[in-house]
A = this chain, B = another copy of it.
Amino acid sequence: MRMSEGVEWALHCCLTLGWLGSDRTVPTAKLAATFELPPAYLNKHLQALTRAGVLASSPGARGGFRLARPAEKITLLDVVTAIEGRDGAFRCTEIRRRGAGAGRDPQEFARQCVITTGIRRAEMAWRRELAAQTLADMMARAPAAAVERTRHWYAKG
């Protein structure tokens, strides 16, 4: 149950874009160079963020990506689900209906099985915690030196 590496990439990129402000657009190549990531693959993730409405993209020369809305309104959950998809980690395959459960009254399975209920409860706690943290929170918590260096890195290019 490993989370895609793309989540880390996406969050770092969002943080960077937040620091630069939404009036500036940054092309994929520049973001990829910032973290030494494969440009084409990073682009795929940025596109996913764009489809999810987290980022906005401008085509053409001097185009690139920027945050689609204020950092206060972007949660960690928004970014994670954009990359990982909407589905939860656990998928119930209803094995209780097979084998010993075959041929039983369908009404016996009307309620979801207790296992699914239990795991879903944990997943909801996870989502709730992710939704409670915004990009703005992250930006505020980061050391000032890192922000300064990042802005400087983007100033020259």
Measured CB to CB, the residues of A under 8 A from B are: 1-5, 7-9, 11-12, 15, 33-37, 76, 80, 84, 87, 89-93, 95-96, 98-101, 104, 108, 111, 113-115, 117-119, 121-123, 125-130, 133, 137-138, 141-143, 145-146, 149-150, 153
CA distance A37 to B152 in the complex (A): 58
Instruction: Contact check, B93 vs A5: say whether CB atoms are below 8 A apart.
Output: yes
State the oligomeric state as a number of copies: 2
Instruction: Contact check, A4 vs B3: say whether CB atoms are below 8 A apart.
Output: no
CA distance A49 to B128 in the complex (A): 30
CA distance A5 to B4 in the complex (A): 18
- The listed residue (B2, B95, B126, B143) touching A122 by CB distance below 8 A is B126
